[in-house]
Structure 1
Amino acid sequence: MLFQVPKPGNTGCIEPVDPACFSGVVDLGAVDIDRGRDHGMPSYNALRQAYGLAPKANFAAVVGSGSETFPRDPKLTPGDEVNDPDSLDFTALFDINGNAIPLGSDAAQTSAVNARRRTGLAARLRATYGTVNRLDAFVGMMAEPHVPGSEFGELQLAIWKKQFLALRDGDRFFYGNQPVLTDIRNILGIDYRRTLAQVIAANTDIPIGDLNANVFVVGSGVAASGNGGSSMVMASAPSPGRAGAPIDNLDGRL
């Protein structure tokens, strides 16, 4: 996760990116790791246990797949694979449907969702940390596979869930803590429970039948029902590549 630091006052650099527009690059991941250590953030497994999750026994369990050993590859330096830049080479790319994308193609820049590197993430983590109990919490939570239907792994999801529940339960003005809303619904028939699709339909000329129940998802002619339910079926993308091959999602788990 690299962030380019723009030069002050330069607003003309948009696309394509011109290196002359920037004064340097900041490694946000390294900054977050250092910040966690400075603030006494627990290790990955200790933080999982603090949030009621079982600790992981090894790095393969952390990332959800793959081997903890480096492959035999003529492009890798035996015994020092983790410090070999070739260890991070992309060897295969896949789109959202699991179809292979040629390396170096235009589609590789715009449509790649999953990827395979020359070495697996579990092997790189093991070479860096040695034992899973030394794994930084920030690195571990970013390495976890996403929980289905979520953009987070188990640990991040537990953290965000607890924080938002605390915000909800501690806010006396939170709408869910207002019993009068239920009385209004029962007595006057006015229901505060509205989906975003229903709000859009009520405030625009777009009929409710022309909107997906989940307006953030592009569907194929699936309409939003009156009660906010959805009949949309999200098909799971097939597993790309050969069976058992470790896959890296292009979501920060690289």
Structure 2
Amino acid sequence: MEHLFGPLEFSRRDLVAINIQRARDHGLPDYNTVREAYGLPRRHAWEEINNFTLNDTLYMKEPIENLRRVYGNTSKPDNVDLFSAGLLETTPNGVGETFRTIILDQFLRIRHGDRFWFENTNNG
């Protein structure tokens, strides 16, 4: 991991911060807008981002509360960045619903767009 961006000169680099800034630079919409675009329901409360329980306690309660404070203690997660909220959806079994839907869509587009895919009977 320490060689991800070449040699570490005088500073460290924060991959999460870089991903959030890159999404903003490219105009990616917020978390709820992306969920809506993929046909997923909007989250109306911060606790809905990840309500997985582990040993009868909320698994991601503290990180979600921290994120809520960073975004101004609003009652709804409407302006939260996709990367931040998407990571908080994570379960012990893998990525959450939003990232799973995005990854599936991308793989299907790659497969369906490949005329040489072995299941494509129209490639001759």
TM-score, normalised by the number of residues in structure 1: 0.40
Q: Distance in 2 between matches of 1:171 and 1:30?
A: 34
Q: 1:154 maps to what in 2?
A: 97
Dislocated runs of 4+, deviation >6 Å: 1-4
Larger Rg: 1
Q: 1:120 maps to what in 2?
A: 62
SS in 2 for 1:34: helix
Q: 2:30 maps to what in 1?
A: 43
Equivalent of residue 116 in structure 2, options 173, 176, 180: 173
Shift, 1:179, TM fit: 7.5
- C-alpha change, 1:5 and 1:25, in structure 2 (3 Å) is farther
8 Å contact 2:52–2:91 — kept in the other structure?
Answer: no
Paired letter, 1:141: G
The structure with more strand, counted as a fraction of residues: 1
Query: What fraction of aligned residue pairs are identical, expressed as a percent?
Result: 33
Shift, 1:37, TM fit: 0.8
Q: Distance in 2 between matches of 1:42 and 1:161?
A: 19
SS in 1 for 2:12: strand
1:138-175 CA distances to partner (integer Å, 9 max, x unpaired)? Answer: 11111103384xx3211111111111111111111101
8 Å contact 1:6–1:23 — kept in the other structure?
Answer: no
Say if 2:11 is the partner of 1:24. Answer: yes
Paired letter, 2:7: P
The structure with more helix, counted as a fraction of residues: 2
Shift, 1:6, TM fit: 2.3
TM-score, normalised by the number of residues in structure 2: 0.77
Higher relative contact order (CA 8 A, sep 6+): 2
Q: Give the gaps of 5 or more residues in structure 2.
A: none
Shift, 1:52, TM fit: 0.9
Q: Distance in 1 between matches of 2:12 and 2:66?
A: 23
Residue correspondence of structure 1 range 187-206 to structure 2 within 5 A: none
8 Å contact 1:147–1:154 — kept in the other structure?
Answer: no
Give the paired residue count.
Answer: 115
Q: Distance in 2 between matches of 1:136 and 1:39?
A: 12
1:88-147 CA distances to partner (integer Å, 9 max, x unpaired)? Answer: xxxxxxxxxx9xxxxxxxxxxxxxxxxx89x71121111111330011111111110338
